[in-house]
Structure 1
């Protein structure tokens, strides 16, 4: 029993090392099989990162304005993840925006340099987060919002592994080794973990977020297959960023129209 728990904890640490700059033991076992199995904990990493950002924001807000606290928390988030997902968004935008064929798009995405499409996507994503989070802070506490945004978005992004073709060549990709297989049970863990923070929200809002997540996944998957034939690691990073923005946008719509947002008192 202890050996099984230790193995699962090592898988979580492997997922943590993949998604963040949080230190993990240097002797952490690695194999392609473990990398694939660690995908079940990608959303759990979101809970950890979301909790760290929420805690930091709560402390910052005691001394600073909400706007400054949001900015500093976004900086912390970039430091915790090494801008990993933002890099994926920028690379995907460059590749799909600048390439006329699938082969050319994949080649551009593997280039570490950032172009106009990537720069524009990155700037708009960061600006969008700041604007949306600032708007939300005028109505409700951002503490549960960080948790939901970070966790549900990673759940949706990692779910693409389940039934979307993997098209990147791991031998030439500049990205870290990526999980590209997912069983039904692992998908279930990802989905359940992604929904856990949603208990903090109003039930109707949760249903709308789930619907938005499902719709986003279907449309984004179809778009990726039409442009690339499947997904790469950069595409998963882009999916996380776009889904996170979608979550904040839905919450803003609810808050500004006087609809219930929170399921518990904050």
Structure 2
């Protein structure tokens, strides 16, 4: 093997490692060393690691759930687990959920909806959507056995981000590129990048057994309806609607898995 090939391989691995760490830094509150970088140009391409970050977030939440379940009764372990993931991500996707419902609930026109979604204040629609989403998440996971809830939590975080990546891959970005925080990662995604993200995001479903089938089908149906809604109202997706899609497919996954488990 030539010396050029030896040089290219570490360089490629270093590039991918940097992209992964930038994705962790962007989608969570975990600080990274300065050499990782965070410029808009460098962030392009990090979306393929969104599902990998989802697994990381899910594992942290699952660890908190398991540890607290040893000494606390339900639903406290799930509440504390949810709080841990919120702290870890800075409520990144939850903020998008609230903004989406404020915009689409209060904006009669496309332009007005996008304007409302950029407002940092949270309105009635956003608060209602956020509270209901968190309540459904806590209720669904608390109703499952702890051992199943742990793997379902990890799978839910990963697969719901697969749904968001699918929207990014197949949809059209319509947000303001000058104002949106998502502009750095909402770039056209190649098929290879999407396939990598999807494989990583689907992998944890194995540990959920047959119950995962109901969760996946239900989440994809919700994603389809959301995509049509976003196209009809906005003409495509924004960073906020990506967050909304992640949150809504996540809770759909949990509820469907719970329904499947109850029926057995």
Quick check: TM above 0.5?
yes
C-alpha spacing 1:131/1:210, structure 2 compared with 1 (3 Å): closer
C-alpha deviation, 1:34, in angstroms: 3.7
Residues 3-18 of structure 1 mapped to structure 2, 5 A cutoff:
3-18=11-26
Matched, 1:181 2:193: no
Instruction: From the superposition, tell whether residues 7 and 184 of structure 1 become closer, same or farther in structure 2 (CA, over 3 Å).
Output: same
Partner of 1:193: 200
Q: How far apart, in 1, do the equivalents of 2:121 and 2:53 lie?
A: 28
- Say whether residues 1:157 and 2:164 are aligned partners: yes
Higher helix share goes to which structure?
2
Asked if structure 1 preserves the Cα contact closer than 8 Å seen for 2:46 and 2:185, the reply is no
Instruction: Work out whether residues 18 and 176 of structure 1, in 8 Å CA contact, stay in contact via their aligned partners in 2.
Output: no
Give 1:1-266 correspondences, 5 Å limit.
1-137=9-145, 141-173=148-180, 177-202=184-209, 204-258=210-264
- TM-score, reference length from structure 2: 0.92
Question: How much does 1:55 deviate?
Answer: 1.2
Q: Distance in 2 between matches of 1:196 and 1:174?
A: 29
SS in 1 for 2:235: coil
TM-score using structure 1 length: 0.91
1:125-180 CA distances to partner (integer Å, 9 max, x unpaired)? 11111111111237x53210111111001111122111211001121236573332
Partners of 1:133 and 1:234 lie apart in 2 by: 25
How far apart, CA to CA, are the structure 1 residues paired with 2:179 and 2:199? 34
Q: Hey, what's the Cα distance between the residues in 2 that align with 1:5 and 1:216? A: 36
| Distance across 1 between alignment mates of 2:27 and 2:229 | 24
Q: Secondary structure at the match of 1:66?
A: coil
> 1:263 matched to which residue of 2?
none
Displacement of 1:216 after TM fit? 2.4
Unaligned runs of 5+ in 1: 259-266
Unaligned runs of 5+ in 2: 1-8
2:4 aligned residue: none
Inter-CA distance 43–162: structure 2 relative to 1 (3 Å threshold): same
- CA RMSD between the two structures: 1.6
More displaced, 178-187 or 89-98?
Answer: 178-187
